[in-house]
Chains A and B, each alone.
Chain A
Amino acid sequence: MSMLSLRDITVRFEPKGKPPVLALDDVSLDVANDTFSVIVGPSGCGKSTLLRLVAGLETPTSGRLELDGQPINGPSADRGMVFQSYTLFPWLTVRENVMFGPKLKGLSKSECEDIADDLIKAVHLDGFEKSYPKELSGGMRQRVALARALANDPRILLMDEPFGALDSQTRQMMQELLLDVWQTRRKTVLFITHDIDEAIFLGDEVHVMSARPGLIKQSLDINIPRPRHIDALTSPEFMDYKRTILSLMHHEAIKAEDAANQRKSA
C-alpha cells in the first residue's frame, strides 16, 4: 500500500509582469511504505517544489496530497526534512540540535537526550555532542541534520539535495552512511537530486522528471541488490540504468534548449 500519494498535482506560479510558469503539470506519484524513492531531474524542473509540497511548506494550485490517507495540510513533525543549505541552528550544540524536535513534542529531558545520543552514534558523530555547528565540516553538519530529522521518528523523510554542497568523496561517504542508517531504521524516504549516479545508488525506484512544464517522465525500479557499496557504481546493471536515465535526460535537455531558443526568437 502506498503511504504517500500525490494526485494530479499542478503548481502554477504567476510572477508579476512575467508570463505564468507551470512548475508542476498534473503530477501523480505514489511512494510505498519503507521504500527509498528518488526524484531526479535538471534544475528548474520543479522537483524541489514537489518536495516542499509534501513537507507542507507550499500548497498546490490544484490536486490532492495524502499521507496515510490523510490530506497534507501544512508542515508537521511526521514529515522530517533535510535541506541542501546548512540549516543547523548555530546557537545550539550538536546534541541540542538533534533534541530540538523531541523537546517541542514535550518529551522529558532524559528521553530527548537518549534519542539524540542514539542518533548521533548512528551518524558516527559521538564525541561531538557538545560542539557548535561552526566547528563542524559540511559533511558533519549534514549528518547532524539527518539525525535531527530522524529524531522526530517521522513517517517519511524528505531530502532536498542534501549532499549537493559537498565534495564528491564526502558525498559518496554520506550516501553509504545514509543507506546504512536507512537499512537499520527502515524509513520511507523521498530524495531529490540532479545527480544520476546518486539517484541509482540510493533508490529502490527512480522517477525521472522533465522541466517546463515539470512532470514525471518515467519511473524505474532499481533492482540492484542491497546492501550496496561503492563497487555497485561500476556494475553492468548500474551502467544500464545510467544509460537509460541519461538518454531520457539528454532528450529533455535538448528539448529545453530548443524551447528556450524558440522563446528568444519569438
Chain B
Amino acid sequence: MWTRSLFSPKTDIDKGTYVTLSLISVAVILALWCLLTYGGITPRDFLAAPHEVVQAGIKRMANMSLFEHMWASLVVILSGFILASIFAVPIGILMGSFRAVQALIEPITGFMRYIPVSALIPLLILWIGIGIEQKIMVIFLGTFFQQLILISDVSARISKDLIDCAYTLGADRRRVVTRVLVPACMPGVMDNLRVTMGWAWTYLVVAELVAADTGLGYMILNAMRGLFTDVILLGVFTIGILGLITDFFFKWARRRLLPWSADF
C-alpha cells in the first residue's frame, strides 16, 4: 500500500521527528569536532578543542571583553542596517511601482550590486576616514543595494487589481500609494529585511578589517595572528548566535506587527 512517509516530497512530519533530526545534525558536527581534536587527528593550533573554546569564552565573559566586542559589532551592524533600511524601503517601494523611479535608479543598483564591498574600502578610507563611520558605511553599502532590489520586487508584485479596486472606491493617486501600496508591501518588506539582516552580519569581518580596535570581527582577525583558533571559533559562534537572535526577533516582530498576513 502506498503511504506518505519521511521520504515523500512536501510531506509534513511530526514535531518530535523534526526536533530529533535537527539535534542529530548538531550532534554529528559536534562529534566530528571532538573526534578530530580529542582523537588527535588535527593539531591543536590547527583546530581548537571544544573545551578550549568554552574556556576562552568564560575567560572573556569574566573580564567583559566579549561583551565589549559584541556591543561594538552590534552598534556597527544595526546602525548600518537601519540606515540602509530607512532609505531602501521607501525608495524600493516606489521603484517597484513607478517606472520613472525604476528608470532613474535601476542603472545604479544594477551596477552596484555586483561590486564587492571590500573593493570600495580604499575609497571609503580616503573619503570618510577610518572611524566608526567607515565601518557603518561598509554595512550600509553591503545591504542597501540588495534591499533596494528585493523590496522593489515586492512592490512590483502587488496585484494591480488591488490598486484598481482602491481607485474604484474613490482613492486618489496619493492615497492609493499610502493606504494600499505601502501596507500591501509590508509582509514582503519584513521578510526581506530579515534576509538582509543576515547578510549584514556576513559583512562584519570586512567592516572591521581596517583600523578597528574592538568588535567581533576584530577579535577574530586579531586571533588569527597568533593562531588562537579557540578565540576565532568563539568569535564565529558568537556571531552565529547573535545572528540567530536577530532572526528570531524579525520573526517575532512580523507576527506581532502583521497579524493579518497570511504566510510566515
Contact present for A75 and B167 (CB under 8 Å): yes
Contact present for B260 and A132 (CB under 8 Å): yes
A91-B170 contact in complex given A83-B161, A85-B161, A104-B175, C-beta closer than 8 Å: no
Question: How long is the Cα–Cα vector from A194 to B262 in the complex, in angstroms?
Answer: 31
Residue B186 CB within 8 A of the other chain: yes
List of B residues within 8 angstroms of A134 by Cβ = 260-262
List of B residues within 8 angstroms of A85 by Cβ = 159, 161
Q: Which of A52, A80, A89, A152 contacts B180 (CB 8 A)?
A: A89
Question: How long is the Cα–Cα vector from A80 to B167 in the complex, in angstroms?
Answer: 9
Question: How long is the Cα–Cα vector from A75 to B180 in the complex, in angstroms?
Answer: 16
Contact present for B260 and A83 (CB under 8 Å): no
The interface size bin for chain B is: 20 to 34
Closest to A158 in B: B168
Question: How long is the Cα–Cα vector from A91 to B168 in the complex, in angstroms?
Answer: 19
A91-B162 contact in complex given A134-B262, A149-B168, C-beta closer than 8 Å: no
Contact present for A87 and B183 (CB under 8 Å): no
Name B147-192 residues within 8 Å CB distance of A. Answer: 159, 161-162, 164-171, 175, 180, 183-184, 186
Question: How long is the Cα–Cα vector from A132 to B259 in the complex, in angstroms?
Answer: 9
Contact present for A91 and B183 (CB under 8 Å): yes
Closest to B159 in A: A85
Q: Nearest Cβ in chain A — how far from B109, in angstroms? A: 25
Q: Nearest Cβ in chain B — how far from A19, in angstroms? A: 25
Q: Residue among B171, B180, B260, B261 with the most chain A CB within 10 A?
A: B260
Contact present for B170 and A81 (CB under 8 Å): no
Contact present for A152 and B184 (CB under 8 Å): no
Question: How long is the Cα–Cα vector from A56 to B183 in the complex, in angstroms?
Answer: 24
Contact present for B259 and A57 (CB under 8 Å): no
Q: Nearest Cβ in chain B — how far from A150, in angstroms? A: 11
Bitwise, A91-117 to B at CB < 8 A (1) or not (0) is 110000000110011000000000000
Q: Which of A77, A83, A89, A133 contacts B170 (CB 8 A)?
A: A77
Contact present for A87 and B162 (CB under 8 Å): yes
Q: Which of A52, A56, A152, A158 contacts B169 (CB 8 A)?
A: A152
List of A residues within 8 angstroms of B262 by Cβ = 90, 134
Q: Which of A56, A81, A132 contacts B165 (CB 8 A)?
A: A81
Q: Nearest Cβ in chain A — how far from B173, in angstroms? A: 10
Contact present for A87 and B170 (CB under 8 Å): no
Q: Nearest Cβ in chain B — how far from A72, in angstroms? A: 12
Bitwise, A122-158 to B at CB < 8 A (1) or not (0) is 0000000000111000000000000011001000001
A91-B164 contact in complex given A101-B169, A134-B262, C-beta closer than 8 Å: no
Chain B positions within 8 Å of A, measured between CB atoms, are 159, 161-162, 164-171, 175, 180, 183-184, 186, 258-262
Known contacts A57-B167, A85-B161, then 8 further A-B pairs from the complex at CB < 8 Å, ordered by chain A residue:
A55-B167, A57-B164, A57-B168, A91-B184, A101-B170, A134-B262, A152-B169, A158-B168
Chain A positions within 8 Å of B, measured between CB atoms, are 52, 55-57, 74-77, 79-81, 83, 85, 87, 89-92, 100-101, 104-105, 132-134, 148-149, 152, 158
